[in-house]
Structure 1
Amino acid sequence: MSFITRRTALKGMLATSALPLAPTLVLGQSETPKSGGKLAYAQLSANRRSADATNSRHPYFVVDSNVRLQWNCLTWVNPQLGWELEAAKRVEPTDKSLAVWEAELKEGILFHNGKEMTSEDVVASFDYHRQNAPFARQIKRIEAVSKYVARFYLDSGNSEFPYVLAEYNSVIMPAAPLATIGMDGIGSGPFRIVESDPNRSLFMEKFEKYFAGPAYLDRIEIYNREGQQEAALNGLRSGQFDAVLSIDARAALDLSKDPDLQIEAAKGGYSFVLQLPKVPGTPMDDKRVRQAMAFAVDRDAIVRVAYGGKFGWKGNDSHLVVTDPSFVPRPGGRDVARAKALLAEAGFASGVDLGTLYWSPQLPEAGRYFQVLQQSLAEAGIKVKLEERPNDGYIQFRTGDADLSKGNYHKFAMTAVGSRNPGISLFRMRNAYVESGYWRGPGHDRYMALYGQAMVEPVAATRKAIYAQMQDILFDEVPALLPAGGDNFLVHRKNVKAMPYHPQVWSIRFEKTWKA
């Protein structure tokens, strides 16, 4: 068998991991797109990284994480969570180890400064990403094979590597020294940055030489309104904004009755993680206490109260979203009696006090969500005090100086996670990651051994079976609690056309959006 045949066969098997492509928008005769105009929108779940005047145009720090408006990646994740080619015209493994991949660029892609994108830019960008983006650290080195071909050498096989290339921290920037690359905000996307106000706003104008054809809109203005849903909706009603992104399900239900507004929904957008610090000798280090939490929490009530019943979905204590084909529903339902029995077995027959659970208003429904969670845990004798923390500085607060060598653990706290492919989502439960609470022991070791098998398995159906085994381990061990998740919603005025939403907020592309 020749090398080309092996590679072609591998490519075919790997392609089965991608879900069907996004449906094509069909416009009626009365819906002919028009060029021109400005779109102003408020984002309720914006980038929470701190930005200042020196880095506010960098893709890691822009006011809003919708980086696909300004930059391109080699690949893109469509609304069905399958990957597609974007700046690359070819992405494939070089052999069956799946540890070496090649990406060939489309020719003629221009950056906003007029420079053509080449493999030199890909290499420089990923040299930066390897040091600064968690998902890119698996890349040991990258080299330019030719003007348009870059080769990635991974630390081990990864059957789902094309998804890594689509991450919001995988954008391609013009080559520059590591200390300055990306700081100028120059990308190759349909819009170029013209003005930025750190943590507040970002203004962009159409890039006429965008490789896929110029956008319809002349200008997009983004305003950070995280935690300010009512103020943002008032801005929509007054005409300050044309759209508001990341509204909660209850607002979506309300606004759907307004004849001048339109709701766009993306199922399976995100979920909340309760990171459970497994400090030796404390209750959460005991698997039975964590199991009791999983049985006690009323997932149905969270969906009903936080998401209005019509939207939202029950989580299974993994990072997978319900729309992922690999998602396995958690067996059984709520069982308060079993939760109490587990607590008694662990030595807490009279109940247990787990201290303070910290949360931030990162999404509008968070307050309702955690009140229901607190009440349902209490019914099983699990006491949790809630404390709201401001969004500013929250990531640093909940993580703290997490260094196990010093005996330092993170806080008992929530965070929100978005929808990703199984290879990325299930990796988040590894021992060396805060969201797993530094899970350890035989269960963890079996879990990671299965993960290693999945990553070098080219056949999607076989990987799916392995992922099911991994979720079975999570049901038993409960390293973290992910009780329920939400859908992504945006609301826009009826004169705004072709403005679809996406389960991954950072993957939205509005180059086909226009105003009537």
Structure 2
Amino acid sequence: MSAISKREFLQLLGLTGLVLGAASLSPGRAFAQSVGAQPAWANLPEGAVPKTGGKLVYGQTYPNWAVGTSDNGKHPHFWIDLLTRSIWNCLLWVDHDFNLQGELAESWQPTDNSLTVWDFKLREGVMFHNGQEMTADDVVASINAHVAQKGSSFLNKWFSKVETQGKYAVRFTLNAGYAEFPFALAEYRLAIVPAATPETILTDGIGTGPFKLIEVDNRRGFRAVRNENYWLKGRPFVDELEGYVVNSQTAINGFRSGQFNAVFNIDPTTAAQYEGANGVVHKSAGGDQFLISLPKNLDLVWNDPRIREAISLSIDRNAINTIVYNDPGTWVGNDTHMSGLNQEFLPRPKPYDPERAKQLLAEAGHSGGLTLPAIVYCPSFPEEPRVMAVVAESLKKNGINVEIREMPCDGFSAYQQQVNAPFGRPARSLVGPRNPAINLGRMATNDSESAGWSGEKGDGYKALYAKAIAEPDGEKRTEMYQQLQAIAQSDTPAIVLGGRRNMLAHAPSVKNLKSHSQNWGSRFDDVWIES
């Protein structure tokens, strides 16, 4: 059977209106990566002369979803707010431009084009907070502990084994070819810690990060002090770091009173209040996406793919950008886990199309409109109730009635999965922005987020995904990534509204603190405070 072009493939799906710009077909990322003693991301703004000393005290309105599920807040899986890089480091890090950078790894590459074996060279001379040097034995013990504790599905899904290759090198063996495997090792939970017994590893709060943990309250906050032996020489600049989980109103009150000199994940509607309190607001290009999961194993109206597409086309996502984020014209969800931050992102030809939605409803026998089952969510971000209000009003305007029911975040995951496992109830999930292999893999490998997607297109999607991630050629992989997005859009297994814009505020004295589109990617070793 001869190969078909991407355009021919899209024509088969009836999606010929898609515009495929040259920019979307840029080559894939190079495999081999290498950085020097001071990584590229360590550079400071041109002309900057950082000062040392002072204390950064921040409020955080978005806690770790796992807070409260363990009594040990010294464990990176249960750290209070996902910003684990204050205390720990991982092998790799995704920077503000979504490029992969070495953290505790100096270089990495596959051993051959099968992409099943990957070699990593570690930094030498990195010291843990307890004065012990980090070696390959620590990395192997840490990764095995994360796998055993299911620290990341992105790692566990492909992992076969990890082994030392001398004192400062490790080798990963995967159970299948995976072109973008290194991105999995940048996940915030996958911290490298001293080797220890299976019962005690990851539990003592010791890492290689810029700050050493002094005290932690698993539900409230932590205190840490400067790591004098941090591997990035001369860093951090700040002497002390404190972080506290607070609600939106407490955050703004604490900022006004001087209790906090920074607040992460501020409510977009409060930006002017922070600025009015002499604060500086920084907004990232993106953030978590809001995904509406539509389980298909029950007798529900959206088991008809025409209904699913009609729901998607009836939601005015740009109204969300305008009303909630004061950011009209920015990217909106394309009903895959892909983000507008990804160079491979393939937008729907017309994300908001009420006329087409009405046509689809009529074809499905619902020309007079319809009522959907209740969809539940918990307000993980302060602006989310306003997002969901726009969604409900937009659907109603186009003849689709739905109750979008707010639930407390405590116990929400258990409530969602209480019935209809493993897919759960109709509900909103949060999807963090990541690289294409992880983004597109969630609909192929995650029962909850795929919502039980099956059938010819679902099976075809999974088969093409397996082929795509094992493809060593970057341009060919990009073509397949866009074909995957087109398949999903033609069957609409889930509704993705689009992403929030992560925002933080800081006092004028705080310098070089920037919001990261991957909230958990925030770093603290390049921030300083002017007296």
Superposed CA offset, 1:210-263 (max 9, x none): 1112311111111112xx21220111011010011111333235544x372111
1:191 and 2:211 are equivalent in the alignment: yes
- Corresponding letter in the other structure for 1:378: K
Deviation (angstroms), 1:12: 8.3
Deviation (angstroms), 1:99: 0.6
Residue 137 of structure 2 corresponds to which residue in structure 1?
120
Does the 8 A contact of 1:88 with 1:103 survive in 2?
Answer: yes
- Corresponding letter in the other structure for 1:242: N
Deviation (angstroms), 1:121: 1.1
- Corresponding letter in the other structure for 2:118: W
Secondary structure class of the residue paired with 1:483: strand
- Provide closer, same or farther for how the CA distance between residues 12 and 49 of structure 1 changes in structure 2, counting only shifts above 3 A: closer
Secondary structure class of the residue paired with 1:355: coil
Does the 8 A contact of 2:53 with 2:237 survive in 1?
Answer: yes
Identity of aligned residues (%): 38
Distance in 1 of aligned mates of 2:40 and 2:471: 23
Residue 474 of structure 2 corresponds to which residue in structure 1?
460
1:442 and 2:459 are equivalent in the alignment: no
Distance in 2 of aligned mates of 1:446 and 1:52: 38
- Provide closer, same or farther for how the CA distance between residues 299 and 46 of structure 1 changes in structure 2, counting only shifts above 3 A: same
Which one of 239, 246, 255 corresponds to residue 218 of structure 1? Answer: 239
Distance in 1 of aligned mates of 2:395 and 2:524: 42
Q: Mapping of 1:107-506 within 5 angstroms?
A: 107-131=124-148, 132=150, 133-137=152-156, 138-213=158-233, 214-225=235-246, 228-253=247-272, 255-256=274-275, 258=276, 260-310=278-328, 313-400=331-418, 403=421, 409-430=423-444, 432-506=446-520
- Provide closer, same or farther for how the CA distance between residues 347 and 329 of structure 1 changes in structure 2, counting only shifts above 3 A: same
- Provide closer, same or farther for how the CA distance between residues 241 and 494 of structure 1 changes in structure 2, counting only shifts above 3 A: same
Deviation (angstroms), 1:379: 2.2
Distance in 2 of aligned mates of 1:247 and 1:429: 30
Superposed CA offset, 1:467-489 (max 9, x none): 11111011111111112222111
Does the 8 A contact of 1:69 with 1:510 survive in 2?
Answer: yes
Deviation (angstroms), 1:144: 1.4
Deviation (angstroms), 1:461: 2.1
Does the 8 A contact of 1:312 with 1:486 survive in 2?
Answer: no
Superposed CA offset, 1:325-383 (max 9, x none): 01111112422232222223223333222221111111111011101101111122221
- Corresponding letter in the other structure for 1:216: F
Deviation (angstroms), 1:506: 1.0
Distance in 2 of aligned mates of 1:54 and 1:115: 26
Does the 8 A contact of 2:32 with 2:109 survive in 1?
Answer: no
Deviation (angstroms), 1:61: 0.2
Aligned pair count reads 496
Residue 45 of structure 2 corresponds to which residue in structure 1?
26
Superposed CA offset, 1:127-179 (max 9, x none): 12223121111111111121111111111111111111111122111112223
Secondary structure class of the residue paired with 2:183: helix
Secondary structure class of the residue paired with 1:14: coil
- Provide closer, same or farther for how the CA distance between residues 432 and 321 of structure 1 changes in structure 2, counting only shifts above 3 A: closer
Residue 81 of structure 2 corresponds to which residue in structure 1?
64
Distance in 2 of aligned mates of 1:312 and 1:236: 29
Q: Which stretch of structure 1 is more off in the superposition, 110-119 or 344-353?
A: 344-353
Secondary structure class of the residue paired with 1:330: coil
Does the 8 A contact of 2:90 with 2:191 survive in 1?
Answer: yes
Superposed CA offset, 1:260-316 (max 9, x none): 211122102221111111124321222111011011111111111111235863111
Q: Which stretch of structure 1 is more off in the superposition, 334-343 or 283-292?
A: 334-343
Normalising by structure 1, we get a TM-score of 0.91
Superposed CA offset, 1:197-216 (max 9, x none): 11211211111101112311
Distance in 2 of aligned mates of 1:415 and 1:224: 21
Deviation (angstroms), 1:27: 5.0
Deviation (angstroms), 1:429: 0.8
Distance in 2 of aligned mates of 1:93 and 1:493: 44
- Provide closer, same or farther for how the CA distance between residues 283 and 189 of structure 1 changes in structure 2, counting only shifts above 3 A: same
Q: Structure 1 unaligned runs (5+)?
A: 1-10
Superposed CA offset, 1:451-477 (max 9, x none): 112212222222111111111011111
- Corresponding letter in the other structure for 1:61: F
Does the 8 A contact of 2:318 with 2:330 survive in 1?
Answer: no
Superposed CA offset, 1:4-58 (max 9, x none): xxxxxxx984359x9x975943254xx5322111111011112011336742110
Normalising by structure 2, we get a TM-score of 0.89
Residue 83 of structure 1 corresponds to which residue in structure 2?
100
Distance in 1 of aligned mates of 2:370 and 2:461: 28
Superposed CA offset, 1:62-90 (max 9, x none): 11100111111111111111101110112
Secondary structure class of the residue paired with 1:314: coil
Residue 47 of structure 1 corresponds to which residue in structure 2?
64
RMSD: 2.2
Q: Which stretch of structure 1 is more off in the superposition, 155-164 or 174-183?
A: 174-183
1:101 and 2:118 are equivalent in the alignment: yes
Runs of 4+ in 1 over 6 A off after TM superposition: none
Distance in 2 of aligned mates of 1:220 and 1:69: 8
Secondary structure class of the residue paired with 1:482: strand
Distance in 1 of aligned mates of 2:237 and 2:491: 50
- Provide closer, same or farther for how the CA distance between residues 54 and 180 of structure 1 changes in structure 2, counting only shifts above 3 A: farther
Distance in 2 of aligned mates of 1:33 and 1:432: 44
Distance in 1 of aligned mates of 2:62 and 2:263: 10
Does the 8 A contact of 2:194 with 2:207 survive in 1?
Answer: yes
Which one of 91, 104, 108 corresponds to residue 74 of structure 1? Answer: 91
Distance in 1 of aligned mates of 2:344 and 2:428: 24
Distance in 2 of aligned mates of 1:472 and 1:62: 38
- Provide closer, same or farther for how the CA distance between residues 332 and 366 of structure 1 changes in structure 2, counting only shifts above 3 A: same
Does the 8 A contact of 1:431 with 1:437 survive in 2?
Answer: no
Distance in 1 of aligned mates of 2:147 and 2:371: 41
Q: Structure 2 unaligned runs (5+)?
A: 1-27
- Provide closer, same or farther for how the CA distance between residues 431 and 108 of structure 1 changes in structure 2, counting only shifts above 3 A: closer
Secondary structure class of the residue paired with 1:102: strand
Does the 8 A contact of 1:192 with 1:205 survive in 2?
Answer: yes
Secondary structure class of the residue paired with 2:429: strand
Secondary structure class of the residue paired with 2:425: coil
